[in-house]
A and B are shown apart, each in its own frame.
Chain A
Amino acid sequence: MSGQSPNNDFRVLKLVTLAIIAVVALGLPHWADLGITFRASLVLISILFATSFNLLFHYTGLISFGQAAYFATGAYVAALCLKSGTSVFGGIAIAMVAAGLAAAFLGYIALRASGIYFAIITLALGQIIYQVIYKWPATGGENGLVDIPRGSVNLGLVQISLSSGVSYYYFVLLCVCLGLLILWCATHSNFGLVLMSIKQDRVRTSFLGINVRLYELISFLVAGSMAGLAGALYGPLTGVLMPELATWIYSTSPILTTLLGGASFFWGPAAGALCFGFIEYFTRTMTGMSSLIIGLLLLTVVLAFPGGILGLATSWLRASPTFKRSSVMEPDTGQSTVLNGEKDNA
């Protein structure tokens, strides 16, 4: 397969895309103002948040309405750590552990049900976390947490302060890339293969001697801790945390993002988050327009392009003469460079 020209062309296209994205992401603070840099940091965070959701949704086949609760758990734990003087990385690590454990615990309860019942239980459990944050004095209750410091990174010789918008942007970029790398490895390895098999037929999977429940819990743990990492980056960025972050309404945002970008692609949630970033930027002054436009867009996507943006792009590429006949950007079924050495895959 690797010798065919369409695939080589495709490899070039992928490299070029990657290079453009890298250049834009790295250079952004130099040509954009602070407002846009701030929005870009937010987009990066929602990319990680949405990709963590898609681990559960596309790979394990679970639709969770509780992601915001894990995000908020990470955000609050990290913010409280930073406020009490913990180092940046220490705070993030504690936040990830807390969010991962919260997700695994709630997942343990919710996994006793299936289908719509599972979705509704994740929603209810997430709302319990929201109520706890809302009522508990330590989290600032309904007033939220304010004045969350960004701290600084100690590199032995140099101490880099993260207080400027630009340095914090680079810090977010680094953490999000690391988080995505972990998720990429999780989905493009045997672990991802097991999750896909569970999604396709959980009974059959158990007849391969696989403890399905254990794998589902681990996927909750990984997805929860990645949502927690996204949350941990969010608090210091905005400086303020409100309990509403934990509500089910906020849980729908990674769902929308993922579907818009294309749930069956690893990079789908990222594409969706980027697109949402633009929509929010251009509709920021219109009351009500934002949810109206998002609703219409989502409806169109679900009805007309269930493959999302990347699904659409793939079918365009397939139709173009250059990439015809090639297996351009197969939807991500877990087949991978890790598994199939000679195989070309995203």
Chain B
Amino acid sequence: MPKTVLEINEVTKYYQDFMALSGVSLSLEDGEIRALIGPNGAGKTTLFSVISGESPLSRGRIVYKGKDISRRSPWQRVRMGIGRSFQVARVFLDMTVQESLYLSLQAHAGWHDPFHLLNNFFAPPRSVVETTEKILEEIGLADERNASVKTLSHGDKKRLELAMAMAQDPVVLLLDEPTAGMSPRETTDTVNLIKKMHANRKFTVFLTEHDMGVVFSLADNISVLSYGRLIANGKPEEIRAEQSVQDAYLGKGDEFDAVS
């Protein structure tokens, strides 16, 4: 029996009068890769921002490893093991690639070490430097280590953001459209990268994606959101056959691989 790691329980979210999420319930099992799909405006990003704590939920609960985290602030949730990336990569443009990873790793090292604030004033420890090297190789940015982040291509920025989240050993990783805006080649690379990292580290991935090719090549399970409601849940082949899913997409005339 697989263990539930994150449970979303009857979550409702209002923006003023507009109901962006309506009683969404979903649970993520340890180690699975689950894709969240749905037409534009279905509430995918809203669900992510509610899970990660970026915006408060209106009703319902989010339970992580048996603890209700609905009221925790974002940084506390990250420290508990819920990492995330953003739809448009939010990286620190005025830093170098290497500094970005140092920042992420040092922060991670400090979570459980009461003396990390003092550590902050000295050179990074050997372990941080070594891990940074390893990650730079893994994401293929070793030659760009001293490049300013703002000079990176869009795809590299997204990969760096992914690496920054990965560096913190998350238990659950929320990826908001990890391949959005990438060329077909970059998309393939990124899919392979996620597969490789997942194989090495065995964390749980929850991702949204418009590119159905990516969804079907990565996901163990798929959940479908439409107008703020969860309309289907299941294995990729089940979802493919599901009539209500086809209605939700085709009824609105959206294309499957539309990029928002």
Contact = CB atoms under 8 A, between A and B. Distances in A.
B95 interface: yes
B75 A210 contact: yes
B103 A208 contact: yes
A208 B95 contact: no
B74 interface: yes
Contact of A209 (B94, B99, B111): B111
Interface string A199-218: 01101101111111000001
A164 interface: no
Interface string B75-118: 10011000110100011111110110011101110010000010
A102 interface: no
Nearest to A333: B94
A126 interface: no
B123 interface: yes
B124 interface: yes
A200 B107 contact: no
Given A193-B102, A335-B96, A340 B90 contact: no
B179 interface: no
A193 B75 contact: no
Given A190-B106, A206-B74, A339-B99, A196 B94 contact: yes
A203 B84 CA distance: 12
Contacts of A211: 75
Contacts of A210: 75, 107
Given A185-B121, A339-B99, A204 B92 contact: yes
Nearest to B104: A208
A212 B108 CA distance: 14
A212 B75 contact: yes
B78 A200 contact: no
Contacts of A200: 92-95
Contacts of B18: none
Nearest to B80: A209
A201 B121 contact: no
Contacts of B121: 185-186, 189-191
Interface residues of A, number: 30
Interface string A318-344: 000000000000000111001111010
B244 interface: no
Contacts of A190: 102-103, 106, 119-121, 124
Interface residues of B, number: 36
Contacts of B224: none
Interface string B16-29: 00000000000000
B90 A191 contact: no
Contacts of B95: 193, 196-197, 200, 333-335
Interface string B55-88: 0000000000000000001110011000110100
Contacts of B103: 190, 193-194, 197, 208
A189 B122 contact: yes
Nearest to A194: B103
Contact of B75 (A185, A197, A207, A333): A207
Contact of B120 (A189, A204, A335): A189
Interface in A227-266: none
B221 interface: no
Contacts of B74: 203, 206-207
A339 B123 contact: yes
B12 interface: no
A189 B117 CA distance: 11
A338 B122 contact: yes
Contacts of B164: 208
List of 5 A-B pairs having minimum Cβ-Cβ separation, nearest first: A209-B78, A191-B120, A204-B90, A206-B75, A209-B79
26 contacts: A186-B121, A189-B122, A190-B102, A190-B120, A191-B117, A191-B120, A193-B95, A196-B95, A197-B92, A200-B94, A203-B74, A207-B74, A207-B83, A208-B75, A208-B107, A208-B164, A209-B75, A209-B168, A210-B75, A212-B75, A218-B117, A334-B95, A335-B95, A338-B123, A339-B99, A339-B102
Given A190-B106, A197-B95, A209-B111, 14 more contacts: A185-B121, A190-B121, A191-B121, A196-B94, A197-B103, A200-B92, A201-B90, A201-B92, A206-B78, A207-B54, A209-B108, A340-B96, A340-B99, A343-B146
Interface of B: 52, 54, 73-75, 78-79, 83-84, 86, 90-96, 98-99, 102-104, 106-108, 111, 117, 119-124, 146, 164, 168
